[in-house]
Amino acid sequence: MPPDERSIIHVDMDAFYASVEQLDHPELRGMPVIVGGLGPRGVVSTCSYEARPFGVRSAMPTAQARRLCPDGVYLWPRMARYEEFSVRVFEVFHEVTPLVEGLSLDEAFLDVTASLRLLGSVEAIAQRIKHAIGERTGLVASVGMGPNKLLAKLASELSKPDGFRRITAERAQRELAPLPVGRLWTVGKVTEQALHRLGIRTIGELAACDTARLAGALGRQAGAMQALARGEDDRCVEAEQAEQSIGAEHTFDTDLAELSLAESWLLRHCERIAARARERGLSGRTVTVKLREPPFVTHTRQAQLCSPSASVRDIHEVARGLLETWWRAQRHPRLRLLGVSLSGFAERRQQDLFDPAPTARLPDEVQDRINAKFGSGSLVRAGVLRTHRQD
């Protein structure tokens, strides 16, 4: 199908992490909320729109954000909680099309071309998505529509917050031309500076530039970049692939030098990834431990489970052995970051009547039920509690 006959939707949740915090804590509504690492090495994950007039932005060091917005509310991320909302959002996506390409927990492309005959116009489908997300989560999504990924994403970005906009193929160049060249997909800081040296500051100027002159500065990518500047983009929406791994990690504000505390963090990570695996109906065979020494020396250690599992006990037993072996091999062990991941997924087999596993699974099942009822993290193993004092 020609690219200009497709109907692509881009959905991006507005200030996702901060919005979830304001939803869970109504007293924070209307206040500048900044979510991210709170220590000296912390980075802003996202911030509410109330924080943005102060100059606070994602990926900014938290220390800089505090200088710009000293009266803001600073919170650690609660990834398990955000994942709960993400599941509800993506359920909405899959109700209108199987062609969903997730970019993150809160952002995705949808190809709804084949859904138009059943569900109506692209605007009707986009409005349905936006309304359903609001109804089921209480959160706000910005929705962009276009004949390709480039224009759909641009439409949502230009209409934020609470956006709803469509850019057609006919209006593409008119919409793109006055925008700064840095707004174009694939144009990073280095490319932007190279274009500025050529006197190119807008997307319209990029589209009109002599291709040979442009190639002298940008090489082979010049032609593709000019096509984007004209609003042309033939990339397809890539439907989600089967999950390859599930992981959790934490960067410490102060280098961790105590094995028992490292083991507590390891258990916390194992609880989290095992719960996510069970939620998705997955069981994995490969456990990988990620260990980063200061300043940035990263090691990985990997081992196989006897059989695929989503049990905290099974995963933690292997991960703990990997951690302890590494730790004892170091003269002065220090950790800046510790992570665990589970991979090598297999479909869960049906349990045998005489399989002893049900007894081993009981703590996980009880934990799942209580956390589902009262919120993620309501019930944790005692060994995890030390890590909560460091949050």
**Could you give the dihedral angle defined by the CA atoms of residues 224, 230, 231 and 237, in that order, rounded to the nearest 10 degrees?**
-20
Q: If phi over 0 gives left and psi between -120 and 50 gives alpha, with beta otherwise, what is residue 138?
A: left
Residue 323 three-state SS: helix
- Which neighbouring-strand residues pair with 107? 12, 104
Residues 157, 149 contacting (CB under 8 angstroms): no
Q: What φ, ψ does residue 288 adopt, rounded to 5°?
A: -125, 130
Q: Would you tell me the crossing angle of helices 259-279 and 312-328 to the nearest 10 degrees?
A: 150
CB atoms within 10 A of CB 286: 16
Kind and range of the H or E element at 300?
Answer: strand 297-309
Q: Report the DSSP pairing between strands 297-309 and 164-166.
A: unpaired
The answer to whether 107 is a known catalytic residue is: yes
Task: Write down the residue that tokens 């109804």 correspond to.
Answer: 135
Q: How deeply is 343 buried, as exposed, middle or buried, from its count of CB atoms within 10 A (0-12, 13-18, 19+)?
A: middle
Tell me which residue of 58, 40, 47, 38 sits closest to 18, measured CA to CA.
Answer: 47
Q: Which one of the listed residues 21, 50, 101, 107 is annotated catalytic?
A: 107
Q: How many other CB atoms sit within 10 Å of the CB of residue 70?
A: 8
Residue 111 among known ligand-binding residues: no
| CB crowding 153-166: b at 16 or more within 10 Å, else e | bbbbbebbeebbbb
H/E element holding 319? helix 312-328
Cβ contact 137:22 at 8 Å = no
Catalytic residues, by residue number, are 107
Tell me the binding residues for Mg(2+).
12, 106
